[in-house]
Amino acid sequence: MARTFLLQTAWVFLLLPLAASAEDDSWLTRSGYYRISYKSELQPIEINRIHSWVVHIESPAGEPLLGAEISVTGGMPLHNHGLPTDPKMTTEIGNGDYRLEGVRFHMNGYWELLVTIDVDGKRDTVIVPLDL
Ligand SMILES: [Cu+2]
């Protein structure tokens, strides 16, 4: 009986990280300075609807980073075109969260966002992939 319980518990712990990573993707910047994740305020993301994201910036150890400057460019590398808008970071919400306004995608397919993060002059970049 006790053995069965232990086996079942082990399965739960094996499955949890898989479930978490599917919902909460995050990306480490190229030089390894920052970890970035985001939540779209439009769920699911629809074509041709302008909306905002909340971008979360933390240290690789998981500590929220304050006072970051974030800029975003991007496009569809397979189509060789950029974003139809120029998204801007407008507000530092707190706790490592930043509002990014003016996000819009005008086509389904594979997008890449090039995110540049600057905290106290320490700059790093990361490509965030997005399949729509
Ligand atoms: Cu395209």
Q: What is the pLDDT of residues 21-44, one digit of tens each?
A: 334 699 999 999 999 999 999 999
Q: What is the pLDDT of residues 78-95, one digit of tens each?
A: 999 999 999 999 999 999
Q: Say how many Å lie between the CA of residue 55 and the centre of ligand 1.
A: 24
DSSP class of residue 96 equals T
Q: Say how many Å lie between the CA of residue 53 and the centre of ligand 1.
A: 21
Q: How many CA atoms lie within 13 A of 62 on its CB side?
A: 0
Q: Say how many Å lie between the CA of residue 106 and the centre of ligand 1.
A: 8
AA letter at 118: D
CA 99/CA 86 separation, integer angstroms = 14
Domains of the chain: 25-131 (2.60.40.3340)
Nearest to 126 by CA among 21, 5, 27, 57: 27
Q: Say how many Å lie between the CA of residue 31 and the centre of ligand 1.
A: 29
Q: How confident is the model at residue 52 (pLDDT cuts 50, 70, 90)?
A: very high
* Residue bearing the bigger pLDDT, 67 or 12: 67
